[in-house]
Amino acid sequence: MQNDVFLTGLTALLPRLRRFAAGLARNSADADDLCQATIERALVSRQQWQDGTRLDSWMYRIMRNIWIDTARGRTRHDKTFADEEAGMHVGSMGAQEAQVELTMVDRALQTLPDEQREAVLLVLVEGYKYAEAAEIVGCPIGTLTSRLLRGREALMVKLGEAA
């Protein structure tokens, strides 16, 4: 029974996990790798998850830990804000303006320090409450609030410059 709940919950979380991975990583290939590593670790460690607890928080913590480990081990950083594929979709299906805006927001988001970007993604994109996001990140709620405030202000400045 727990296995069915776990697998069903994990499957339902996939779009959100991919979105969070895309926000943490600097390009789609790294995001896909991060998502795959997270799912793999969750499947291997599924006995550590307890039925009745929040699977989404558990999965986000796994992803965040893998991302931090990967970032620490990496000797070079990808400085590209948008990959080639992002440009391929501009103007498709009459949504050019929306795509341009999303690209501008993504570029601005990628310039934030990791801690601020993570807070913005969890609270503003994923919709977590401050306390839930602080638990996922593993910091006090005041620290998360401060990161979110600085990240939000930096985004507004960056997007104001882009206008």
Average pLDDT over residues 88-94: 52
The pLDDT of residue 87 is 57
CATH class belonging to 1-73: mainly alpha
CATH class belonging to 91-163: mainly alpha
Domains of the chain by residue range:
1-73, 91-163
The residue with tokens 């029974």 is 1
The pLDDT of residue 141 is 94
pLDDT digits (tens, 9 = 90+) for 108-141: 888 899 899 999 989 988 889 999 999 999 999 9
Helix (H, G, I), strand (E, B) or coil at 28: helix
The pLDDT of residue 37 is 94
Percent of the chain with pLDDT strictly greater than 90: 47
pLDDT band, residue 21 (cuts 50/70/90): very high
Contacts of residue 119, defined as CB under 8 A and 6 or more positions apart, other chains included, come to 133, 137, 144, 147, 148, 151
The pLDDT of residue 75 is 47
Yes or no: say if 71 and 37 are a contact pair by the CB < 8 Å rule. no
pLDDT digits (tens, 9 = 90+) for 57-87: 999 999 999 998 887 766 444 443 445 565 5
Matching CATH topology for 1-73 and 91-163? no
The pLDDT of residue 32 is 93
Average pLDDT over residues 98-112: 76
pLDDT band, residue 92 (cuts 50/70/90): low
Among 10-19, 44-53, 79-88, 137-146, whose mean pLDDT is lowest?
A: 79-88
Yes or no: say if 58 and 12 are a contact pair by the CB < 8 Å rule. no
Average pLDDT over residues 8-36: 92
